[in-house]
Amino acid sequence: VIGCAVILGGGMGGLFSALALAPLCERVVILERDPPPPASTDAAFSDWARRGASQMRHTHAFRARMTHLLRREHPDVLAQLRLLGVREQTFAETLPDAARRQYVAEPGDDDLTVLLSRRSTFELALHRSLAARPNIELRSGAFVTGLLTRRDASGTLVAEGFSTADGAQRGDIAIDAGGRTSPLAEWLEELGVALPQVGSSAGIVYFTQFFQLRPGATAPTRAAVGDLGYLKFGAIPADNGAHSITLAVPEADLALRQAAARPDSFARIVAALPGASAWIDPAVASPLGRPAGMGDLKSRWRNMAPNGEPLVRNLFSVGDSLMLTNPLYGRGCTLAAIEAHLLRDALQAHADPVARARTYAAAVCRELGGHFEDMRRMDAEAVEAAVAHLGGGTRAPWPVRIKRHYLRHGLGIAVRRHLEVTRRSLRAFHLLEAPGRWQADPRTVAAALGSLLRGQRANAGYYPPPGPSRAQVLELAALKA
Ligand SMILES: Cc1cc2nc3c(=O)[nH]c(=O)nc-3n(C[C@H](O)[C@H](O)[C@H](O)COP(=O)(O)OP(=O)(O)OC[C@H]3O[C@@H](n4cnc5c(N)ncnc54)[C@H](O)[C@@H]3O)c2cc1C
């Protein structure tokens, strides 16, 4: 259908776009500024100079929709991931011990299987899979400096490819998969085109440290994740005995940010978090490097075809460049993979550039728009909660307080008490279904109200462990090493 597709960026969005489009194109060229990965998983993690995707050494979780997509579309990539030591974790394996003892498998549970991998290992698997497709060329060390366009007879802008320091790479379609720092908006501005977008700050700063299981040691059985209001955390297993711990600290909390940034206090904070200390026990695991911080985290959704008219014909955007989300939800890579395949479908369905752009934009909106809005709503609520913890903000009006009470003592308990509610909520969390629907399901509402009526004492075993207060955490952080 297409002669040549040129892709800016060989990160998750670019690699998935190439995989998705290769069967439609005579040629796919990826222009990537960074060098290719070293050959092994451990070298890829420790030595790969990945300046263009500096988040690579932060925790990466992959949503079950990713497993689903790979099984259906790219079983060879899944096989490559397994070959590289990536583990699949089933729904049953994520359940607390008591729930697991009563667990009876149901149809659909298999959809909830997730992949446990370092981001570097995942990219390595994608690189190897691409190498087996002869019509994909990945040009490493190719820094893209601009978008190539022309005006057609009617004066409409048409994309022709990208320019690099080594010359032009022209193609029939151009895809921007340049990630969170994609320069597309500036390039379009130079052409006199404004790129509409909605977005907001994610309101957090990330601190991650990776660990390696010691030879012969056994890792804790499950990930530990928690939200203490003033701090969110996750201890997440990955491939080949590696795991990572992330602290997500509110942007507004300078004292906690300083504490999380220091290796000694990072370790003391983690040791105090429920379920997380087992992951850093020196008898179990040794640190891989120091904690790394990352800020300026945002959500942003760009509209490449406002009112159904593409800003530039034959130009598409995939991954963070199109839809950037708060990393806490661990969805960016899965969103990028979904978008790449929605683009493939739009390109396959139409030859006309306007119809292609409209169809792609509509599909992204239909499949992912609700999730994007849901994440922004949760971000805003989290920022409000963090400000309240710091002693700011105003008392919420009573309808908001009632809703919070229902979420904490009704719905939150039902999700932990009733496996069918757990399943329903996870299907939305893992991008297998639209958000919100599971909450409105009458069976969910009945379970939530039932939990609420039982009362907090009867539900005591279903609340997440409380964890330390912010003052206790700061006190721990202030101790001398
Ligand atoms: C701290 C953090 C933690 C995250 N955790 C998760 C997680 O747990 N799960 C998850 O799914 N997602 C997570 N994400 C999001 C995820 O990393 C992104 O959504 C994903 O990488 C998007 O893919 P992309 O291709 O759009 O961008 P990237 O993967 O960043 O790739 C962009 C590529 O473009 C290249 N590039 C940029 N500019 C140029 C140029 N001018 N010329 C040539 N090449 C260029 C870069 O080198 C890079 O390879 C996290 C993000 C952050 C910041």
pLDDT for the residue 480: 62
How many Å lie between the centroid of ligand 1 and the Cα of residue 458?
Answer: 45
For 288-346, give the DSSP string. Answer: EEEEEEE---EEEEE-SSGGG--SSBTEEE-GGGTEE--GGG--HHHHHHHHHHHHHHH
Confidence (pLDDT) at 339: 98
Centre of ligand 1 to C-alpha 334, Å, is 11
The amino acid that residue 226 corresponds to is G
End-to-end CA distance of the chain, in Å?
63
**What is the residue with the minimal CA distance to atom 31 of ligand 1?**
11
pLDDT of residue 97: 80
Q: Whose CA is nearest to atom 20 of ligand 1?
A: 333
Contact 414, 451 (CB under 8 A): yes
343, 403, 350: which is closest to 368 by C-alpha? 343
pLDDT < 70: residue spans in the chain: 480-481
pLDDT number for residue 73: 98
**Cβ(171)–Cβ(4) below 8 Å:** yes
Q: Ligand 1 pocket by C-beta < 6 Å: which residues? A: 8-14, 31-34, 52-53, 55, 58-62, 143-144, 177-179, 206, 294, 297, 319-321, 327, 330-334, 336
At 337-349, the pLDDT tens digits run 999 999 999 999 9
Nearest by Cα to 117 from 146, 80, 154, 87: 87
Residue 367 is given by DSSP the state: I
- DSSP code, position 21: H
CA of 336 to the centre of ligand 1 (A): 9
DSSP string, 402-438: HHHHHIIIIIHHHHHH-HHHHHHHHHHHTTSS-SSHH
Say if residues 226 and 251 touch (Cβ distance below 8 Å).
no
Q: What is the tens place of the pLDDT at every residue in 269-319? A: 999 999 999 999 999 999 998 889 999 999 999 999 999 999 999 999 999
Give the DSSP H or E segment for 161. Answer: strand 157-164
What pTM did the predictor assign? 0.97
